């Protein structure tokens, strides 16, 4: 049987293979083109974003989100673009979606934190920064960003830890040093701030911000020429930052160079013509020069720009006061206080204007209020105190304004006292005249709040004593404060002691004797070491030797543990010529006191002196 050949011969089969191969090649090409197109789309979107075209980038990423709804990269890119466009809610939603798709993406947490921060939702921002750091603790930028937020919420200690960690992780980033210096300035650690600025400038000698921060530090350290040189360098390197010109002007104005200050304020205004603070500052400089009309023009323009700028009303009120326009001064000071009830200088101005208008009761009330609110030196000029004191002060002031109860007055008085003492007891440098005057203001505020508290009056007296180094007239006020302290509390030994020493220095012998005796009677343990020597000298200088013997004998009998009183008795006995009795008293002290104590050593010195010489 013959068979017919099959119809699908070899030629036909090869034909269809060639067709399939061509189709496969076409599909591969199409897929490659599609992949290349997709790659081009990502690249285009990324390039738009890095090129600063956030709006176009957002649109490009929007297409990618629709095409790739499960690709976290698209949401991340759109979120970054939205953040740059200040579309914060949209940015937060996108970063949240990234975290839904990739829960351990530390960058998404950091980016969402930035958006929360910009919205003012700092608790949420801090939580996200902390999560980012938990996931990636070696990322210096995350620590840096969190430090900025800690500073914003007034947690300087925590901010300092994060800045320091960021620097440890990336010691070549000058911005980290510059920002840590900014924080150190607020903490009053000016030398350390200078060190950080030096490091920042070693990494980048064109950093205007580092020069600016170092200028501020030098200013607070009293190195005025260095401060001015750095302010000059900051504005030279970045002349388009209005803040640099403004702060340079403020520095010059505080130095008394009002003409140069006006030039700086004017440059700031050329950059930001609507800067009411710059107009306010220039107005004050004009006023300092006696240019009333120009000052008023600046104050008026500032208020046209910002009718809610309380301190412009205060400064204009001061200008009206200087011009003898007392009703206008009262009106502007009142407007300032409506906007800013804690502005003590407005109360001071209104009080003086009311006094000039014959309103003595109103003037008294305003001036007392000004004293209670305390001094308000300009930012950057105020003496440094620990941040904790400032926090307590803010809280106490808020409570006092809401309810002036005795309890709230007491709380405010305590923090004012602490503020004044912190200025006096600044560990890094001696306070200058301006700082002491500021401290006096805080101490007087404490006294006004609690007039029956002798410790506030005593501290005020101490501050006036320190101020006398710069102005001898302050001694009169020091004596007044110490006198008021003992009037309030007749047993306040420390005030009696300072009164006695002050009077002794002024050759007011009998007054000094009385005050020093009061100090020893009320606190023999605390006063003896300081009062005994001067009191013996005053007894001798005023021929009151018998009074001295009687006083020290009575006090030593009542307080046998205070050997200094026995030393005083020995000195007075020797002064009266009874050398044997004096030696006997001194030798008794040698037996009582251990070698090395001041009383033992002083008694030994007296014994050696008296035994080696004739009476």
Backbone angles phi, psi at 48, to 5 degrees: -60, -40
Here the tokens at position 203 are 């990494």
Contacts of 486 (CB under 8 A, 6+ apart): 454, 492, 495, 496, 499, 518
pLDDT score recorded for residue 17: 54
Q: Distance between CA atoms of 482 and 248, rounded to whole angstroms?
A: 41
| Residue tagged 């000052």 (tokens) | 295
Q: Does the predicted model carry a pTM greater than 0.75?
A: no
Q: State the number of CA atoms in the 13 A half-sphere of 486 facing the CB.
A: 21
Helix (H, G, I), strand (E, B) or coil at 232: helix
C-beta pairs of 486-491 under 8 Å, 24+ apart in sequence: 486/454, 486/518, 488/451, 488/452, 488/453, 488/454, 488/457, 489/454, 490/518, 491/522
Q: Are 163 and 176 in contact (CB under 8 A)?
A: yes
Here the tokens at position 201 are 């400038």
Q: What is the pLDDT of residues 492-515, one digit of tens each?
A: 999 999 999 999 999 999 999 999
Q: Are 292 and 319 in contact (CB under 8 A)?
A: yes
pLDDT score recorded for residue 47: 87
pLDDT score recorded for residue 39: 57
Contacts of 97 (CB under 8 A, 6+ apart): 72, 75
Contacts of 70 (CB under 8 A, 6+ apart): 101
Residue 60 is inside which H or E element, if any? helix 54-67
The Cβ of residue 432 has, within 10 Å, a number of other Cβ atoms equal to 13
Q: Distance between CA atoms of 319 and 291, rounded to whole angstroms?
A: 10
CA distance to 363, 377, 441, 513, 540, per residue, from 353 (Å):
8, 21, 21, 45, 53
Q: Distance between CA atoms of 528 and 564, rounded to whole angstroms?
A: 6
Q: Is 328 exposed, middle or buried (0-12, 13-18, 19+ CB in 10 A)?
A: middle
Q: Distance between CA atoms of 517 and 548, rounded to whole angstroms?
A: 10
Here the tokens at position 266 are 């004017």
Helix (H, G, I), strand (E, B) or coil at 222: coil
Domains of the chain: 41-103 (1.25.40.10), 383-453+461-471 (no CATH), 503-615 (1.25.40.10)
Q: Distance between CA atoms of 182 and 212, rounded to whole angstroms?
A: 10
Helix (H, G, I), strand (E, B) or coil at 223: coil
Q: Distance between CA atoms of 554 and 546, rounded to whole angstroms?
A: 12
Contacts of 476 (CB under 8 A, 6+ apart): none
The Cβ of residue 150 has, within 10 Å, a number of other Cβ atoms equal to 22
Q: Distance between CA atoms of 443 and 383, rounded to whole angstroms?
A: 14
DSSP string, 368-433: HHHHHH---PPTTTSPP--HHHHHHHHHHHHHHHH---HHHHHHHHHHHHHHHHHHHT-SSS---H
The Cβ of residue 284 has, within 10 Å, a number of other Cβ atoms equal to 25
Q: Distance between CA atoms of 596 and 380, rounded to whole angstroms?
A: 48
Parts of the chain with a pLDDT under 70: 1-39, 378-380, 428, 613-615
Q: Distance between CA atoms of 130 and 142, rounded to whole angstroms?
A: 8
Contacts of 42 (CB under 8 A, 6+ apart): 64, 73
Q: Distance between CA atoms of 472 and 549, rounded to whole angstroms?
A: 35
pLDDT score recorded for residue 379: 62
Q: State the number of CA atoms in the 13 A half-sphere of 362 facing the CB.
A: 13
């Amino acid at each position: 049987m013959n068979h017919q050949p099959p119809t699908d011969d070899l030629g036909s089969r090869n034909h269809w293979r060639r067709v399939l191969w061509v189709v496969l090649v076409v599909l591969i090409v199409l897929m490659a083109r599609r992949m290349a197109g997709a790659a081009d789309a990502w690249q285009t979107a990324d390039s738009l974003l890095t090129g600063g075209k956030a709006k176009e980038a957002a649109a490009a990423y929007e297409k990618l989100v629709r095409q790739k709804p499960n690709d976290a990269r698209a949401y991340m890119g759109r979120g970054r673009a939205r953040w740059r466009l200040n579309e914060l809610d949209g940015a937060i939603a996108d970063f949240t979606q990234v975290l839904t798709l990739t829960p351990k993406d530390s960058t998404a947490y950091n980016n969402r934190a930035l958006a929360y921060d910009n919205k003012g939702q700092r608790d949420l921002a801090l939580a996200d920064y902390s999560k980012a750091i938990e996931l990636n603790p070696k990322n210096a930028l995350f620590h840096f960003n969190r430090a900025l937020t800690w500073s914003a919420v007034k947690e300087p200690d925590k901010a300092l830890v994060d800045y320091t960690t960021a620097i440890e992780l990336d010691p070549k980033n000058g911005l980290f040093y510059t920002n840590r210096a900014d924080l150190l300035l607020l903490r009053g650690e000016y030398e350390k701030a200078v060190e950080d600025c030096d490091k920042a400038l070693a990494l980048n000698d064109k950093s205007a911000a580092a020069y600016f921060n170092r200028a501020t530090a030098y200013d607070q350290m009293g190195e005025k020429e260095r401060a001015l040189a750095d302010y000059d360098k900051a504005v030279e390197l970045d002349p388009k930052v209005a803040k640099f010109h403004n702060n340079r002007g403020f520095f010059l104005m505080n130095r008394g160079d009002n003409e140069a200050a006006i030039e700086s304020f004017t440059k700031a205004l050329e950059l930001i013509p609507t800067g009411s603070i710059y107009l306010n500052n220039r107005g004050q400089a004009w006023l300092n020069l006696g240019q009333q009309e120009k000052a008023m023009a600046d104050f008026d323009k500032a208020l046209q720009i910002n009718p809610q700028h309380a301190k412009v009303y205060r400064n204009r009120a001061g200008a009206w006061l200087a011009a003898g326009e007392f009703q206008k001064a009262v009106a502007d000071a009142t407007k300032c206080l409506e906007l800013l009830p804690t502005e003590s200088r407005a109360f001071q101005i209104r009080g003086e204007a009311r006094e000039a208008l014959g309103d003595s009761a109103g003037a008294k009330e305003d001036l007392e209020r000004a004293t209670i609110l305390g001094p308000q030196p300009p930012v950057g000029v105020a003496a440094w105190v620990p941040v904790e004191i400032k926090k307590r002060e803010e809280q106490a002031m808020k409570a006092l304004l809401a309810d002036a109860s005795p309890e709230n007055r007491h709380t405010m008085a305590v923090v004012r006292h602490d503020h004044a003492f912190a200025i006096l007891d600044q560990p890094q440098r001696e306070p200058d005249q301006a700082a002491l005057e500021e401290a006096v203001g805080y101490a007087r505020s404490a006294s006004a709040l609690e007039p029956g508290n002798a410790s506030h009056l005593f501290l005020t007296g101490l501050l006036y004593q320190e101020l006398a180094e710069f102005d001898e007239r302050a001694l009169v006020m020091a004596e007044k404060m110490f006198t008021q302290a003992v009037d309030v509390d007749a047993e306040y030994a420390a005030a009696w002691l300072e009164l006695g020493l002050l009077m002794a220095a002024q050759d007011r012998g009998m007054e000094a004797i009385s005050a020093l005796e009061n100090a020893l009677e009320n606190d023999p343990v605390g006063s003896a070491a300081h009062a005994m020597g001067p009191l013996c000298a005053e007894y001798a200088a005023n021929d009151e030797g018998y009074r001295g013997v009687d006083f020290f004998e009575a006090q030593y009998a009542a307080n046998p543990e205070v050997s200094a009183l026995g030393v005083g008795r020995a000195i007075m006995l020797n002064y009266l010529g009874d050398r044997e009795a004096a030696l006997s008293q001194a030798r008794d002290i040698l037996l009582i006191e251990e070698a090395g104590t001041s009383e033992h050593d002083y008694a030994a010195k007296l014994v050696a002196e008296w035994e080696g010489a004739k009476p």
